[in-house]
Amino acid sequence: MTDPVVQVAGLRYRYPDGTLALDGVDFRLEKGETVAVLGPNGSGKSTFVLHLNGLLQGEGTVSVCGMRIGHETLTPVRRKVGLVFQDPDEQLFMPSVLEDVAFGLLNSGLKPEEALPKARHFLRLVGMDHAGEKAPYHLSGGEKQRVAIAGVLAMQPEILVLDEPTTFLDPPGQRDLLALLRSLPQAMIVVTHNTLFAESLAARAVFFERGKIVGEGTPRELLDCFNWSLPGPSRGQPPPAAGSSGQSRL
């Protein structure tokens, strides 16, 4: 077996207010693999992914492509790991959408004549090429999420980490993102409450509970094991027939 691209051992993290958010996490991600991260609200998923590019640093070890994350490896680690935040408002900060997507490319040394077409290409991939001149803060939630994803994909990092990338996307947007992510060669960690998305994207999943990984398997196995699936379509009363006395309460 080749070396993992991400290896986490004994990770613990306590927020300054005393909340123990991670309580001994062991995890590995192989080259080219996609892993879904599942688990209830507040179980530590976002805290975990913030450790993967050193935004948070807890006890234990986190290694990326053989580099142990620490003060002196932050720059090369951040080139390897592209992180899409749960909240796109935390990701977008430039005056225009195009500048936002081009920001990392320009920062990594590309000239504007190379960076801007590349940024436009990735905006096209997420269906946002029409909005390059708009201010990010004028976009809708789903549009912001698309632009945030484009900005990270444009950097073509070796490892993609996406925290709830479908929260604001409409169903066709979710379907397009699924197809886009499936077409990429990178290793990927995707935090999601979207069970269909997890099943369609990842062969392996882990399940967080109270700051620990308490289950590992296929997404379907974990969804069954933790009783995490939504019920099927309602088999309750059919809606009243047109012209009947039933009144819609909506």
Residues that bind ligand ATP (CB under 6 A): 15, 17, 19, 21, 39, 41-47, 86
Residues in region 48-107 near Mg ion by CB under 5 A: 86
| DSSP characters over 155-189 | T--SEEEEESTTTT--HHHHHHHHHHHHT--SEEE
Nearer to ligand ATP, 15 or 137 (CB): 15
Minimum gap (Å) between residue 177 Cβ and Mg ion = 18
Structure-derived torsion over alpha carbons of residues 197, 200, 204, 209, reported in degrees to the nearest 10: 20
Output the CA torsion sign for 207, 212, 214, 215: positive
Q: Which does 44 bind (CB under 5 to 8 A by kind): ligand ATP, Mg ion, none?
A: ligand ATP
Nearer to ligand ATP, 105 or 149 (CB): 149
Tell me which stretch binds Mg ion (CB under 5 A): 41-49, 55-63, 167-175, 203-211: 41-49
Q: What is the DSSP letter of 226?
A: T
CB atoms closer than 10 angstroms to residue 41? 6
Near Mg ion by CB under 5 A: residue from 46, 145, 174, 194: 46
Query: With binding defined as CB under 5 A, does residue 43 bind Mg ion?
Result: no
Task: Say how far apart CA 210 and CA 25 lie, in whole Å.
Answer: 11
Q: Which does 151 bind (CB under 5 to 8 A by kind): Mg ion, ligand ATP, none?
A: none
Query: With binding defined as CB under 5 A, does residue 166 bind Mg ion?
Result: no
Minimum gap (Å) between residue 31 Cβ and ligand ATP = 26
Minimum gap (Å) between residue 41 Cβ and ligand ATP = 3
Q: What is the DSSP letter of 147?
A: H
Q: Which does 17 bind (CB under 5 to 8 A by kind): Mg ion, ligand ATP, none?
A: ligand ATP
Contacts of 61 (CB under 8 A, 6+ apart): 7, 8, 9, 10, 11, 68, 69
Nearer to ligand ATP, 19 or 107 (CB): 19
Tell me which stretch binds Mg ion (CB under 5 A): 44-52, 112-120, 194-202, 232-240: 44-52
Q: Which residues pair with 36 in a beta bridge?
A: 190, 205
Contacts of 177 (CB under 8 A, 6+ apart): 126, 149, 165, 166, 169
Q: Which does 42 bind (CB under 5 to 8 A by kind): ligand ATP, Mg ion, none?
A: ligand ATP
The stretches of 109-166 forming alpha helices (DSSP H) are 112-125, 141-153
Tell me the number of residues near Mg ion by CB under 5 A.
3
